[in-house]
Amino acid sequence: MTDVTHVTDTLTGPPAGPLLSIVMPTRDRCPILEKTLQRIEGSDEFSAAELEIVVVDDGSRDGTASFLSKARSRFPLRVARSEGEGPAAARNRGVRMATGSRILLLGDDTPPRAGTLREHASPPAPDVGIQGLIEWDPEVPVSGVMSFLAPEGPQFYFKGLRHGLRIPFTAVLASNLSAPASWFREDPFDERFRDAAFEDTELAFRWRRKKRAVLYSETAVCWHTHVYTTLEPFLARQRRAGRAVRYAVRRHPALFFRAVAQPLAVGAVFALRHAALRALRRASERSSWDLRVRGAFLRGLLSPAGTAADPARGDAAAALSPLPVPGEHRP
C-alpha cells in the first residue's frame, strides 16, 4: 500500500508517469469521500504505476483532514488543503499536482463504475475530452425529486447525446470529465467562481473557442451518491447558478443567448404551460418543480447588489450590475 503524499503546490512541469490522474475536490463530506476512494481502490483496471489520485480538501471541518492523513492506497495518493477557495480553485490546485498525461475530474460523490476509468484513460483519439454519463447510485433509493433532477433534468441532462459524438459546451460537466492534462493547464478554471455552478460550462466555452472536442460516452458511468429528499437544496444551488451566469456573461458577452436569453424564453413557455394546466387542474408536481427551479435561477440572475454573495471573488459590483446585451442543451 502506498502512503499518502501531502503537498502544498508542486509539479507544474510537463506530466510524466501515470496514464490517468484523478483530481477530486472535497469539503465536509468525509463518509462520502471515503466510500468513493474505496470504490476507486477496488478497481482492477490499472497497475499502481498507471493511476494516481489527487484529493484537494477545500477547508473541511468534519474530520476529512484526519481521514486523509491516515489514508492508504495501492495507487499514489496526493493530498493538498486549501481554505474554502471553492471547487474551481481546488481543481486547479489538483491539476498542478497531477503527473498523468490525462486528467479525470470526479466529484467526491461520483464514484466510477467498473470499466469507466479505463475508458477515460484510453480515448478514441489522444486530443479529445470525454464526458461520461452520471446516474444515481443503485445502492441509494431514488426519491421523486432525484428522478426529476437527473439524468434528464435540471441537474444532469443527457437526453439527446449520442455515444462517441461531440457534445455542446453546455453539456460538459466538471465530473466524470477527462481531457489531456495540457488542456487544464493552458485553460484553468476561473477561480472567481466560488461555487460548483457554471464554472464547468464557462471552461467548456473557452475550450470550444479553441476547437477542442469533448465526446460523450454512455458507457463511462459514474454513480451519483448525493441524496435529495426535498427540492430546497437544489433551489439554493440554482440561485447560485444564476449569479454565476451573471458573472460569466459579463466576461463573455457571446454567452448571453445560450446562458440567459434561451433559458428565459424556454422558462416563459413553461410558465404559460403550467398556468394553463393549473387552470384545468391538471398541473403535475413535476411541472411545479420545474417552474420553481427556473424561478430560483432567475432570482439569482437578477439579484440586486448586496442581497447575495457573488461567485466572482473581488468583482461583486461588476457581476451584479446590469447584464450586457451583445450586438441549450440543458433545458
pLDDT, one tens digit per residue, over 12-62 is 344 458 999 999 999 999 999 999 999 999 888 899 999 999 999 999 999
DSSP structural state of residue 208: H
Question: 131 forms bridges with which residues in the sheet?
Answer: 177, 216
- Cell numbers at 162, concatenated: 449520442
- Three-state DSSP at 131 gives strand
Residue 287 has pLDDT above 90, yes or no: yes
Percent of the chain with pLDDT over 90: 84
What digits encode the pLDDT tens for the residues 298-320? Answer: 999 998 743 334 544 444 333 33
Mean pLDDT of the chain: 89
Which residue ranges form the domains of the chain, and what is each CATH number? Answer: 2-224 (3.90.550.10), 232-320 (no CATH)
Task: Please give the pLDDT value at position 16.
Answer: 57
- Cell numbers at 116, concatenated: 469507466
The sign of the torsion formed by the CA atoms of 257, 260, 262, 268 equals: negative
On whether the pTM is more than 0.85, the answer is yes
Task: Please give the pLDDT value at position 37.
Answer: 97
How many Å apart are CA 138 and CA 223, to the nearest integer?
8
Higher local confidence (pLDDT), 145 or 42:
145
Amino acid at 84: G
Q: How far is CA 309 from CA 201, 240, 314, in A?
A: 20, 9, 11
Residue 167 has pLDDT above 60, yes or no: yes
By CB atoms closer than 10 A (0-12, 13-18, 19+), residue 42 is exposed
Pairing of strands 214-224, 129-136: parallel
